[in-house]
Amino acid sequence: MTQRLHLVFGGELVDPSTTTFRDVDDIHVVGIFPDYETARSAWKAEAQRTVDNAHMRYFIADLHSLRDVETAVQSAEQFGK
């Protein structure tokens, strides 16, 4: 069975209408979670904790998708594509 890992992270944005972080070294990694529901719960807690700062944003990244893309790239490279 494939794991469906999710990363929750966030930080202060340069402008709330973009997704550019003010300081990449200051990104808060909340954690890696085994399923979307758990990740969403962690995301929601951090979003609510920082609600007074309009520049703070938290995101959920599907790590399993990134892992699958990497596998596809390696397979394509193996066959010279």
- pLDDT for 29-63, tens place per residue? 999 999 999 999 999 999 999 999 999 999 999 99
Q: How many Å apart are CA 36 and CA 69, to the nearest integer?
A: 19
Domain layout of the chain by residue ranges: 6-78
pTM, 2 dp? 0.77
CA 60/CA 34 separation, integer angstroms: 12
Among the four given CATH numbers 3.40.720.10, 3.30.420.40, 3.30.70.2400, 3.40.50.150, the one describing domain 6-78: 3.30.70.2400
Q: How far apart are the first and last CA of the chain?
A: 28
CA-wise closest residue to 6 among 68, 61, 46: 61
